[in-house]
Copies of this chain bind each other. A is one copy, B any other.
Amino acid sequence: MEEEFIQHHISQQFNKELVELRNQVLSMGGLVEEQLKNAIIALSTHNYQLARQVYSDDYKVNALEVRIDEESTRILAIRQPTARDLRLVMAVIKTIPDLERIGDQAESIAQMALQIQGEAESKYFVAIRHLGEHVQYMLHNALDAFARIDVEMALRVMDEDRKVDQECDSISRQLITYMIAEPRTIPIVLNILWSARALERVAAHSRNICEYLIYFVKGKDVRHISSVEQVEEEGRKSGD
């Protein structure tokens, strides 16, 4: 898919820089994906070593964020890109804070895993494990859409966000009934409730990444427009 970036530049060096920029974003994406996966396993299997691993990977994510940011700024200053190249750099600049915050949410979940300390009954974790898988899949597809410049996939990820919200609401209601029934479990169940919220935030960040990708490809800002309207518009266009 590199052709998408490189076919239209005379400067071979500039081509390399843009491909390298994209690859760095994908590396950062891979790191936060790993953090999220470890955090969810740590939560549902009480694996404290893995929870601590999520924390210790934080510096790698932060270092990559700063490096990508500096490289983007350098490209803007030196290459003075316009049109599609400029939109690519803008999309990268917007994507990396969302990736960094996904890493932060993974750390929150790892923190919850450490606080629960094996005291919780397994029934609390069934629903959140499923939510975790759903959100991981969404993040994976968002990064895949970015890697392949795949607008169709990005639109599908944006639609998943609503389902994750509904799933999270349903888990919250269930956990609240547990708390009312057994008040002594409140501190533990709250940690699971926070983790569900953190996963909901990861889904929202994944959605944002897809919006930036569509902006890059279409040159159009799709934030604050529902993805249904988006799909309808796509449909109208292909019917023209």
A residues near B (Cβ < 8 Å) are 59, 62, 65-66, 69-70, 73, 76-77, 80, 82-83, 86-87, 90, 93-94, 97, 176, 179-180, 183-184, 186-187, 190, 193, 197, 221, 223-224
Contact = CB atoms under 8 A, between A and B. Distances in A.
Contacts of A59: 224
Contacts of A87: 73
B73 A86 contact: yes
Contact of A76 (B65, B76, B184, B193): B76
Contacts of A97: 94, 97
Closest 5 CB pairs of A and B: A80-B80, A62-B224, A183-B183, A77-B82, A180-B183
A47 B221 CA distance: 35
B83 A77 contact: yes
A65 B223 contact: yes
10 contacts: A66-B224, A69-B221, A76-B86, A76-B90, A93-B93, A97-B97, A176-B186, A176-B190, A179-B179, A180-B186
Given A65-B224, A180-B186, 17 more contacts: A59-B224, A66-B221, A69-B221, A73-B86, A73-B87, A73-B90, A76-B90, A77-B83, A80-B80, A90-B93, A93-B93, A176-B186, A176-B187, A179-B179, A180-B183, A180-B184, A186-B186
Nearest to A172: B190
A62 B223 contact: yes
A197 B195 CA distance: 13
A9 to B, nearest CB: 17
Contacts of A94: 93, 97
Contacts of A223: 62, 65-66
Nearest to A72: B90
